[in-house]
Amino acid sequence: MNKRIDFLPICYFFLFISLMVNGRLRLDPTAPFHFGGAEYAISPFDIPLVGIFIFSLLSTLWKKTNYFIKFDSLDISLIIYLTVLLITTVFSQSLDFSIYELVRQFKLFLLYICARTFFSKQSGLTTLIVSISFIVFIQGVVGYFQYFTGQTISGLNAEVSDLNEIASGVYRVAGTFGHPGILSQFLNSILGVLLVASFNYKGYKKNIILIFYMLGGIIILTSLARTGIAMFGVILFLTILLNAKLNAYKLGRLKKVLLVMGPILICLGLLIAFFDVILLRFTTAQDVSLNIRFYLADIAFNMIENNPLTGVGLNAFTTVMKHYDHTGVSGYFMFPVHNIYLLIASETGLIGLISFLLVMCVFLFSGVKIVRKGRVLLARQLAFCAISGLVVIYLSGLLGWSWRLDCLQVIFYILLGLVAAARKIEGENKNEEYYNHTIHSNK
């Protein structure tokens, strides 16, 4: 008898792959580019997302899989957040763009509901590892072609820009994302999965996963994204520190020393190898870049001052920024403020910021609690991968504008789904099979 093909893992795989596509099918080509968030366009992730919704629904009908809202603290915090977004949209100064973003947020909430169940199963975890490994491989191939040839896909016309060439003949890796900072932030948010997964193997399987993890680290290093390099080191340090709670095997004293010293020595070797380039990057920061950040922050504060409760409207920052600009930056730099908290506060007001912080705290607290006190190894591993990725997004967002990009929005909701999946597994710990499963079981 032929075995049935499970299309759901295939849809999730292509969902991850679609996040590497830097572009959208714009349904109104005459409209100007909108860098603030969703627009009147079909995003690459929309296509596999439809497949996920269809096959999840079929799984609910045929296999009685539970894909329903649970109304626990995690779901309720997200529902409150979405409700606030809906309320603030009523007062938006750019209603069309607010509606586009609102639709995207509700789609991603449904993805979160589906991901919670899918990633609590072994097929989901296998898909997660394979997808991330493939992403790292593609970014490595594209990135090193850029690094050694100086070619780039940055900008609207794929031109080499000051962003990617920090000195004559010294180029930053940007991958398929076209921006080194976005590349490093995206990889940092998902690479922890590979490192934790490697704890569950011995022999060549462990080595293969670690090779992909180290390749991801090298990509981040050669992106020369200062925040990205720092975040990679922080996540690596935390993973080593919490190894006892995440490792499927008990390690002897010598192996523990090797576990700690091995990554440190590798990182030191890479830093030494690229020291001149990294030093050049850290010492050639342009004043104009810093000034633009201050100008955008000034616009955000003006928006908050004039619209403290509901903001100027979800996804409306770049469309109305000229009305709050005292410096003229909106005439040549139509990007959102480089801080996600200021962006949320300026667009959805203080109630929007509070609701977002509620989501942040509820999910982080739940994830940390599972890592510290969880009885099921798989739940601890998933929770750690999720909170490490969320911490990358929350901290990187202090200095970046990329919060509303499709790739980070989708990853954000998937990470929330991983926290919920860990909680689901922990709640089902009476089922003995979960005690024998880790991120991709080695049995």
**Rounded-to-integer distance, Cα 241 and Cα 13, Å:** 31
Region class of 158: left (phi > 0), else alpha (psi between -120 and 50), else beta = left
**Rounded-to-integer distance, Cα 58 and Cα 358, Å:** 33
**Rounded-to-integer distance, Cα 44 and Cα 403, Å:** 17
pTM for this entry: 0.88
Neighbour-count burial of 232, counting CB atoms closer than 10 A to its CB (0-12 exposed, 13-18 middle, 19+ buried): buried
* pLDDT computed for residue 443 by the predictor: 43
Render pLDDT for 298-330 as a digit per residue (tens, 0 to 9).
Answer: 999 999 999 999 999 999 999 999 999 888 888
The 3-state DSSP class for residue 358 equals helix
Q: By C-alpha distance, which of 119, 127, 115 is closest to 53? A: 115
Mark the ranges of the chain whose per-residue pLDDT is less than 50.
1, 155-160, 254, 287, 430-436, 441-443
* Interior/surface letters 303-332, b for 16+ CB within 10 angstroms, e for the rest: bbeebeebbbbbbbbbbbbeebbeeebbee
Residues 6+ apart with CB under 8 A from 419: 74, 363, 366, 367, 370, 382, 383, 386, 387, 390
Q: By C-alpha distance, which of 176, 174, 127 is closest to 15? A: 127
Q: What does the chain come to in residues?
A: 443
* pLDDT computed for residue 406 by the predictor: 92
The answer to whether 115 and 418 have CB atoms below 8 angstroms apart is yes
* pLDDT computed for residue 268 by the predictor: 64
* pLDDT computed for residue 384 by the predictor: 92
- Enclosing H/E stretch for 196: helix 180-198
Residue ranges of domains in the chain: 10-441
Render pLDDT for 260-294 as a digit per residue (tens, 0 to 9).
Answer: 555 666 666 655 655 555 555 555 555 456 678 88
- φ and ψ at 165, to 5 degrees? -115, 105
Number of neighbouring beta carbons within 10 Å of residue 20: 18
